[in-house]
């Protein structure tokens, strides 16, 4: 596929002609306008959450609506939620036709263990 | 295409800078699934420039060119010309799809000149306007796409003008494919992108993009508001090709009488940007004005549909 653009260039050092009129090139750090595709490009966005979506496998009819509607691509096609990045927006629970997905307050779910 | 047949691969990478419930990232996901990896993207200054996340990383796993606000049509034309040349020199196994992605400010207002020029030349790319009906990135200022009576930071009592309709302006350019889409109807949106991919020339797709912070509704309601827009007739789903408009999905069902047109109030009440129409007291005049426009249009479309059913052999343009 030649997906060369995805190569991490941010570590490449670029030599520029010396500005101090010396023979030796001067190293001025990385110089590229390319950004590298990456998950978690602003970090672990799961920390934005106050409510977390919890899936009840018994009720779920595997309609995949939560998968396609999740604005952040946090639900995989086999319906696993990635809590590292899930922002807790609630779209998946709102759109779930069987109420298999529900939003649970973060500290309540872990409440008992949280002492 | 059923949901379960949609590609699993995500070219929008999670953990981006988009707000909770962002319609922009939601639209990108479906578009990328339909167009696939062999796509080169140009993003015009907008929320999409920001939600990619700051340099040197990006949430968009496609080659992306970030370009200035007014330049969507011009950049798309240049990229299409470059792709054409490289293809002629045998540089591609398969020629990539050129996709320009701009907001409504970048399309309706500052970008329309370049877009119109590109369309007139029928430059070979897909232009997407994701329409969140305001300049969201800079804090919700009005645009030419902001609907009548909607609050923005510079229409604090509600916009006085009616929105313009760029999809219809693009149809008037005579380009080969124009479509509108909604986040609430992903299979319809996917089909339109997949179809646009196969067409040569300028293709225009406009996606209504309900924006939680800009329109003032809870982030969980992004899809719900998008659906209400279609059900109340505030947003219409159609595609236009070969001189003919075909209404699709929810809009088609209303026109063909399989679903009822919901009162526009249901859409307006779901969003804080229309709150002044209901509080402190009901603004009957403006609510009625909005309803009248929609009802009038749908009555005409329903009438045309019935006529067509009864007089199958007489050609009637479905457009008004
Ligand atoms: C010539 C120019 N003027 C102003 C700006 C600042 N600016 C960047 S994005 C933006 C708003 C874009 O609105 P829209 O196209 O609707 O996209 P949205 O942010 O709503 O996604 C503005 C005003 C700019 N980048 N260039
Ligand atoms: S809460 Fe929002 S971000 Fe999290 S999985 Fe559901 S739709 Fe995705
Ligand atoms: S929307 Fe609900 S029922 Fe459908 S797949 Fe997701 S959790 Fe299951
Ligand atoms: S302001 Fe609206 S369109 Fe922009 S990133 Fe936030 S939710 Fe998305
Ligand atoms: Mg906008």
Write down the domain spans for chain B.
Answer: 3-316
Amino acid A25: pLDDT? 55
Residues of A in contact with B37 (CB under 8 A): 1
Q: How far apart (Å, rounded) are the C-alpha atoms in residues B116 and B293?
A: 27
Q: What is the pLDDT of residue A114?
A: 35
Residue bearing the CA closest to ligand 4, atom 1: B136
Q: How much is the pLDDT for B310? A: 83
Contact assignment for B18 to A71 by CB distance below 8 Å = yes
Report field, pTM of the whole predicted structure over 0.90: yes
Beta bridge partners of B208: B131, B182
The more confidently predicted of residues B151 and A32 is B151
H helix runs in chain A, sequence order:
65-69, 91-95, 106-109
Instruction: Report the nearest atom of ligand 4 relative to the CA of B25.
Output: 8
What is the pLDDT, as a whole number, of residue A34?
87
Residue A92: closest CA among chain B residues belongs to which residue? B220
Which ligand is nearest the CA of B4, by number? Answer: 3
Q: Is residue B76 very low, low, confident or very high in pLDDT (cuts 50, 70, 90)?
A: very high
**pLDDT at site A3:** 42
Q: What is the pLDDT of residue A112?
A: 42
Taking the CA of residue A75 as reference, the ligand 3 atom at the shortest distance is 6
Q: Is the pLDDT of residue A11 over 80?
A: no
Asked whether the predicted pLDDT for residue B90 surpasses 60, the reply is yes
Task: Give, as one character, the DSSP assignment of residue A13.
Answer: -
pLDDT digits (tens, 9 = 90+) for B108-165: 999 999 999 999 999 999 999 999 999 999 999 999 999 999 999 999 999 999 999 9
From its phi and psi, is residue A88 left (phi > 0), alpha (psi between -120 and 50) or beta?
left
Architecture of domain B3-316: 3-Layer(aba) Sandwich (3.40)
Please list every residue in chain B whose beta carbon sits closer than 8 Å to the beta carbon of residue A70.
26
Question: By the CB < 8 Å criterion, does B91 face chain A?
Answer: no
Kindly report the average pLDDT of chain A as a whole number.
Answer: 81
pLDDT band at B1 (very low <50, low <70, confident <90, very high): confident
Which domains can be identified in chain A, with CATH numbers? 45-105 (3.30.70.20)
Atom of ligand 2 nearest to the CA of B219: 2
At A24 the pLDDT is 57
**Whether residue B86 has pLDDT greater than 90:** yes
Per-residue pLDDT of B177-188, as tens digits, reads 999 999 999 999
pLDDT category of residue A15 using cuts at 50, 70 and 90: low
Best residue among A53, A66, A90, A99 to mutate for probing ligand 3's pocket (most ligand atoms within 8 Å of CB) is: A66
Q: What pLDDT is stored for residue A32 in this prediction?
A: 75
Three-class SS of chain B: CCHHHCCCCCCECCCCCCCCCCHHHHHHHHHHHHHCCCEEEEEECCHHHHHCCCCCEECECCCEEEECCCCHHHHHHHHHHHHHHHHHCCCCCCCCEEEEEEEHHHHHHCCHHHHHHHHHCCCCCEEEEEECCCECCCCCECCCCCCCCCCECCECCCCCCCCCCHHHHHHHCCCCEEEEEECCCHHHHHHHHHHHHHCCCCEEEEEECCCHHHHCCCHHHHHHHHHHHHHCCCCCCEEEECCEEEECHHHHHHHCCCCCCCCCHHHHHCCHHHHHHCCCCCCHHHHHHHHHHHHHHHHHHHHHHHHHHHCCCCCCCCCC
| d(CA B290, nearest CA chain A) in Å | 28
* Interval B91-106 mean pLDDT: 97
Residue A14 has pLDDT above 90, yes or no: no
Average pLDDT over residues A37-46: 96
Give chain A's end-to-end CA distance (angstroms, integer).
Answer: 52
Q: Which two tokens stand for residue B185?
A: 């109807």
Decide whether any atom of ligand 4 lies within 6 Å of the B47 Cβ: yes
pLDDT for A111 equals 44
A83 touches B: beta carbon within 8 Å: no
Query: What pLDDT, on the 0 to 100 scale, is given for residue A13?
Result: 57
Which residues of chain A does B91 touch, with a Cβ-Cβ cutoff of 8 Å? none
- The answer to whether B223 contacts chain A (CB < 8 Å) is yes
Q: What mean pLDDT do residues B89-96 have? A: 97
**Residue A36 backbone phi and psi in degrees, to 5:** -100, 130
Among B14, B62, B186, whose Cβ lies nearest the Cβ of A68?
A: B186
- Interface residue B39 vs chain A (CB under 8 A): no
Nearest to B42 by CA among B144, B111, B105, B127: B127
User: Which A positions 17-36 lie with beta carbon below 8 A of chain B?
Assistant: 30, 32-36
User: Mean pLDDT score of chain B, rounded to an integer?
Assistant: 96
Interchain CB contact of B15 with A (< 8 Å): yes
Interchain pair A37, B21: CB under 8 A: no
What is the average per-residue pLDDT within B272-278?
98
- Residues with Cβ within 8 Å of residue B293, at least 6 apart in sequence: B162
Q: What is the pLDDT of residues A73-92, one digit of tens each?
A: 999 999 999 999 999 999 99
Closest chain A CA to residue B94: A1
Joined tokens for residue B200: 């040569």
**Chain B residues close to A91, C-beta within 8 Å:** 21, 26, 219-220, 222-223
Q: Residue B218: nearest ligand to its CA?
A: 4
Strands B177-182 and B203-208: parallel
Q: Which of A3-17, A53-67, B227-241 has the lowest mean pLDDT?
A: A3-17
pLDDT digits 0-9 by tens, B177-218: 999 999 999 999 999 999 999 999 999 999 999 999 999 999
Q: What is the mean pLDDT of residues A13-35?
A: 59
**Nearest atom in ligand 2 to A91's CA:** 7
- In total, chain A counts a number of residues equal to 115
B318 pLDDT higher than 70:
no
């Amino acid at each position: 596929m030649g997906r060369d653009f995805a190569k991490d260039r941010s570590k490449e050092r670029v030599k520029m002609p010396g500005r101090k009129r010396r023979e030796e090139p001067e190293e001025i750090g990385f110089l590229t306008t390319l950004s590298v595709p990456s998950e978690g490009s602003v970090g672990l966005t799961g920390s934005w959450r106050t409510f977390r979506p919890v899936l009840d496998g018994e009720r779920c009819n595997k309609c995949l609506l939560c998968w396609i509607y999740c604005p952040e691509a946090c639900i995989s096609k086999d319906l696993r939620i990635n809590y590292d990045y899930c922002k807790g927006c609630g779209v998946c629970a709102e759109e779930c036709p069987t109420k298999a997905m529900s939003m649970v307050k973060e500290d309540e779910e872990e409440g008992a263990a949280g002492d | 295409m059923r949901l379960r047949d949609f590609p699993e691969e995500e070219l929008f990478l999670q953990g981006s800078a988009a707000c909770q419930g962002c319609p922009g990232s939601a639209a990108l996901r479906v578009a990328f699934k339909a167009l696939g990896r062999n796509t080169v993207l140009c993003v015009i200054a907008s929320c999409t420039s920001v939600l990619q996340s700051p340099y040197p990383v990006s949430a968009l796993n496609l080659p992306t060119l970030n370009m200035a606000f007014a330049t969507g049509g011009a950049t798309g034309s240049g990229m299409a010309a470059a792709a054409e040349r490289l293809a002629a020199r045998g540089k591609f196994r398969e020629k990539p799809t050129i996709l320009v992605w701009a907001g409504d400010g970048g399309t309706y207002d500052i970008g329309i000149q370049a877009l119109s020029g590109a369309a007139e030349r029928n430059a070979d790319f897909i232009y997407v306007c994701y329409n969140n009906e305001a300049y969201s990135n800079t804090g919700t200022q009005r645009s030419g796409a902001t609907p009548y009576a909607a609050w923005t930071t510079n229409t604090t009592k509600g916009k006085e003008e009616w929105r313009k309709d760029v999809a219809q302006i693009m149809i008037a350019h005579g380009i080969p494919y124009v479509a509108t889409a909604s986040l609430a109807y992903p299979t319809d949106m996917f089909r339109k992108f997949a179809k646009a991919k196969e067409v040569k020339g300028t293709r225009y797709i406009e996606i209504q993009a309900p924006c939680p912070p800009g329109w003032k509704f809870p982030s969980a309601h992004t899809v719900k508001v998008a659906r209400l827009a279609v059900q109340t007739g505030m947003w219409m789903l159609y595609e236009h090709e070969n001189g003919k408009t075909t209404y699709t999905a929810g809009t088609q069902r209303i026109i063909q009488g399989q679903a009822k047109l919901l009162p526009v109030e249901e859409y307006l009440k779901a969003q804080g940007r229309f709150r002044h129409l209901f509080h402190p007291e009901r603004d009957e005049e403006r609510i009625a004005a909005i309803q009248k426009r929609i009802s009038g249009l749908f009555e005409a479309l329903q009438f045309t549909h019935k006529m067509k059913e009864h007089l199958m052999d007489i050609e009637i343009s479905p457009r008004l």
